[in-house]
A and B are shown apart, each in its own frame.
Chain A
Amino acid sequence: MSDTGSILKIDNLNVHYGDFQALYDVSMEIKKGRVTSIIGSNGSGKTTLLNTVMGINKPTSGSITLNDKDISGMRTSKIVADGVTMSPEGSSIFEDMTIKENLLMGAYLPHARKRKTELVEKAFSLFPDLREKSGQLASLLSGGQRQMLSIAKAIVTDPQVIICDEISLGLAPVIIKDIYKKIKEINAAGMTVLLVEQEVKRSLKHSDYSYIMVKGRVVMEGVSGELPEEEVSSAYFGINKYA
């Protein structure tokens, strides 16, 4: 919590899918070295927001800046090269490649390629389960291990900001707990983390700052420990003033 400068800034972002507007004037400031969470139900625009940050969707208006550089509308691989990567919802792993190869691919960019042994080793020490299976095909992994591999792969790119989209989706509580522990370790090592979750309690517990999204808008934000859980929940469910 030492550094308080912002690393990723989203300003008045609007995104459309054809005639449908998915995001309305979304603004956020992701502070360096912190864990920031975005909480929202299905259809609240979380994934659209992340995909726009990663260059998968193009914004209609507004800007996204990383360390004061405008990255909005850039190609995904370029954004990754600038220091942001994402472990997306669902699977991003290479099923017909081994765990080791999956991780080595994380070191694709020149700055990471030079340190690939070191970076892969770091990922293995964070996720020892993966080390044991390093020669196996990724398609043989369980759901929780896939999620870990997806995060591990992202870490090997040596990013400044790592975005984790719905990392707990469909996993057993004990595994979710384990993954959140890893996220904490990753953050402690100096990486800025942006978490995206559906679950209010867990998100507030594991983040420093939270944004709550409803129907494509940010309806509430604040220091995670100070946000009243009931109010966040009613916002989340679209009760009264937030609907």
Chain B
Amino acid sequence: MYIIIQSVITGILLGGLYAVIGVGMSLVFGIMRLTNIAHGDLMILASYFTMLFAMEIVGNVFLALLITIVLMLILSFLIQTFLVNRVIDKGPEPSLLVMFGVSIIIRNALILIFGANNRTIPNPLSTTNILNSPNISISGGYLVNFIVGVAVVLVLMFIIQKTYFGMSIRATASNRMGAELLGVNTKRIFAYTLCLAVATASIAGLLIGQTFVFYPSTGPQYLITAFGVVVIGGMGSLGGTLVGGILLGLVQLLSAHFFGTGWQTIAGYVFMLVILTIRPQGIFAKARR
């Protein structure tokens, strides 16, 4: 019994991390209709940046994250302005291919610079248990991941739903020509959207780096996690990513408990396929015409 409760707790906590992994992808899809296939690699790139700054240059994780976010924002603005915006009017496929190219470039650049060895960002909390009873324990690292994940999703929802800037993002998503006719430079809005998404990916990168080991080719693994979260929660629904993340975490942990750890990953994707079959738009998104 306690083991099940333990699995549920860990699953929910893991879900918070999954939410922040998926939320940027959901945002980019919801606003631009672009499947950002480089999302995972951008996250891992952020993991490397944060590791580099935290361990070699500034020595402080928070400062390192700030510098990483700034660098990632500049990078994503350049990617959007000079690559994606040039092809985005030509349908979804060209921009998908562009992001595929970005993904390959990032992965190979990381191998060239950092080598193929696995890395990690040291985190004192990852070995500390917040709650440590004989039957149930809560890892400090996982709890922090969960809190940060929920906070990121809530802040993003606030920006999109309550600010004028967020309103212009929603307007662009709803009717691009209608927004342009009100003076909104929609390509600029797309660039800002990717920047927001990449800022969340940078935070995800730090959390991943502190929780698991990473190496240049881990990106696709987290891309698939992001896909799972977004498909379950609903493409474009930010609140849905939180629910999608938690459900995915729960399914993985509970299947590991009942069927053995070997089933953990596959159970997640079976669940994703079930959701795709019974509710293809995801749990929270409205069906698009």
Contacts and interface: CB of A to CB of B under 8 A. Distances in A.
Interface of A: 54, 56, 75-78, 80-81, 85-86, 88, 91-97, 101-102, 104-106, 108-109, 112-113, 153-154, 156-157
B233 to A, nearest CB: 17
A153 B182 contact: yes
A95 B175 CA distance: 8
Contacts of A157: 182-183
Nearest to A139: B174
Given A54-B181, A105-B179, A77 B186 contact: yes
Contacts of B177: 56, 76, 88, 92
Contacts of A54: 181
Give the interface centre of A101, A105, A153 by most chain B CB atoms within 10 Å. A105
B185 interface: yes
Listed residue (B168, B170, B183) with the most chain A CB atoms within 10 angstroms of its CB:
B183
Given A101-B167, A104-B164, A109 B175 contact: no
Contacts of B180: 76-77, 80
A42 to B, nearest CB: 20
A97 B174 contact: yes
A76 B181 contact: yes
A80 B179 CA distance: 11
B171 interface: yes
A88 B286 CA distance: 26
Nearest to A80: B183
Given A104-B164, A105-B167, A108-B168, A93 B175 contact: yes
A112 B174 CA distance: 21
For chain B, what secondary structure do more than half of its interface residues adopt (helix, strand, loop), or is it mixed? helix
Contacts of A104: 164, 167
A12 B185 CA distance: 28
Count chain A CB atoms within 10 A of each CB in B184, B186, B286 and give the residue with the most.
B184
Contacts of B174: 94-97
A154 B170 CA distance: 18
Contact of B181 (A92, A95, A101, A113): A92
A88 B177 CA distance: 9
B175 A77 contact: no
B178 interface: yes
Given A85-B182, A92-B181, A96-B174, 11 more contacts: A76-B177, A77-B183, A85-B181, A88-B177, A95-B175, A96-B170, A97-B167, A108-B179, A109-B182, A153-B178, A154-B182
B179 A88 contact: no
Contacts of A56: 177
A156 B185 CA distance: 17
Nearest to A85: B181
A75 B170 CA distance: 21
Contacts of A75: 185
